[in-house]
Homo-oligomer: A and B are copies of this chain.
């Protein structure tokens, strides 16, 4: 699935000098044979893009195995005026890691050591190239929890999670990636290394540099290491799937969860009936967990590290109360780890199921929680009016006000004809988001995909401030140009 040609990656407005022989020689000397990828077959995975919306054209991938080597590569690029696209696990959904022919990719994959772990103090220091699932496993082995969790966790890298301030299913209780990071190490655009690897809860000595690099999508510097926060491992977990007659009841259940369980709601995910149906149809080994059909479902999870807590009991009384108040139509609490895994597979499998159901136009938006039902109703009506037969599949982190408002093509429509309407659908949906005080990118970032939308929806003043920051940190404009910030002229 490839979007219209103008969406393919061609080149940046500011075209860098060609990758000449002297630059490549110097690069090879720094990186050694294992650290430099130029073979077209080996380049393919670095040039691939998760959703097939872009085609990368990089001919050179640098794979430094240390912060110092990474800094040398960046310095060399600064000297030669070569622009850099940082790349972690290459799982981003907005084309932020796609490189052009005159750029090099700096891949962090070989920088994958856990530097230290302090289980008592609930801290862990890692290289940027550590795979998220490996970090989760290391934390678990030490009796702790690293709560960042998302679909790509088996291959995404923590450096990319930090660069994009990734979200996922644990944000409701544990916050975004930003909230899980205490310290950072960054190679600056001139090749200097900022050592901000602090492990402190409180440090008010100057501007929030760490916060600025987090979420800047590699445009201000290249993240090479981080100090992460861990949490005590949960001792009790309860998981349920709930069915609802309408959306307002979904948000009412969340309020009830919070008032009954205190801080123990750790996931609250929306699934529409259409999503459930395509998951049952296209994914193996799933069955409908509830009898009858319900327009909306929520996957609700409680967890705590309090010893002796029985959250299944809490969940039972919570759902009992929700029945009494006529919030719920039906619900099931999982009785085994297998059942729990099935529910999560149903939720996590929605993007995959959607691929089988035809072409999709996607949105990753957030609105204030109270506006979620209004948003979904208005946006569904707008896209249906514009494209009769379209099948909205709004799902995801409703507890954070974050909806993946994905649109499956009408049955029988030509895929490309549907995808050609991507911008049109974006405008319809994003206008409603803006009207409700929401965000057009809740957790995926901007990348290349939403740069034009930034020009449309961000206040010029805010773009001015962003440009001032970019110029202050990267005056030559060599770090991931074309990402996050629209060019000054349209």
A304 at the interface (CB under 8 A from B): yes
List chain B residues, Cβ under 8 A from A176. Answer: 202
Q: How many residues of A contact B (CB 8 A)?
A: 85
Q: Decide if B438 touches A200 in the complex (CB within 8 Å).
A: yes
Q: Decide if B368 touches A208 in the complex (CB within 8 Å).
A: no
Q: Decide if B366 touches A446 in the complex (CB within 8 Å).
A: no
Most buried by B among A118, A204, A445, A471: A204
Q: Which of A374-426 contact B (CB under 8 A)?
A: 397, 400-402
Q: Which of A301-316 contact B (CB under 8 A)?
A: 304-307, 309
A178 to chain B, nearest CB (A): 7
Interface of A is mostly: loop
Q: Decide if A202 touches B461 in the complex (CB within 8 Å).
A: no
Of A8-16, A47-55, A238-246, A260-268, the stretch lying at the interface with chain B is: A260-268
In the complex the two chains form, what is the Cα distance from A261 to B444 in whole Å? 35
Q: Decide if B462 touches A472 in the complex (CB within 8 Å).
A: no
Among B206, B309, B439, which residue has its beta carbon within 8 angstroms of that of A462?
A: B206
A481 to chain B, nearest CB (A): 15
List chain B residues, Cβ under 8 A from A199. Answer: 368, 437
List chain B residues, Cβ under 8 A from A258. Answer: 232, 305
Q: Decide if A402 touches B201 in the complex (CB within 8 Å).
A: yes
Among B208, B220, B457, which residue has its beta carbon within 8 angstroms of that of A215?
A: B208
A188 to chain B, nearest CB (A): 8
In the complex the two chains form, what is the Cα distance from A207 to B178 in whole Å? 12
Of A150-158, A164-172, A292-300, A322-330, the stretch lying at the interface with chain B is: A164-172
Q: Decide if A443 touches B473 in the complex (CB within 8 Å).
A: no
A36 to chain B, nearest CB (A): 28
A42 at the interface (CB under 8 A from B): no
Q: Decide if B205 touches A368 in the complex (CB within 8 Å).
A: no
Q: Decide if A205 touches B454 in the complex (CB within 8 Å).
A: yes
A123 at the interface (CB under 8 A from B): yes
A369 at the interface (CB under 8 A from B): yes
Q: Digit string of A95-130 for contact with B (CB within 8 Å is 1, else 0)?
A: 000000000000000000000001011010000000
Q: Which of A441-490 contact B (CB under 8 A)?
A: 441-446, 450, 454, 457-459, 461-462, 465-466, 468-469, 471-473, 484-485
Q: Which 7 A-B pairs have the closest CB atoms?
A: A211-B211, A262-B306, A203-B439, A472-B472, A202-B442, A468-B472, A262-B305
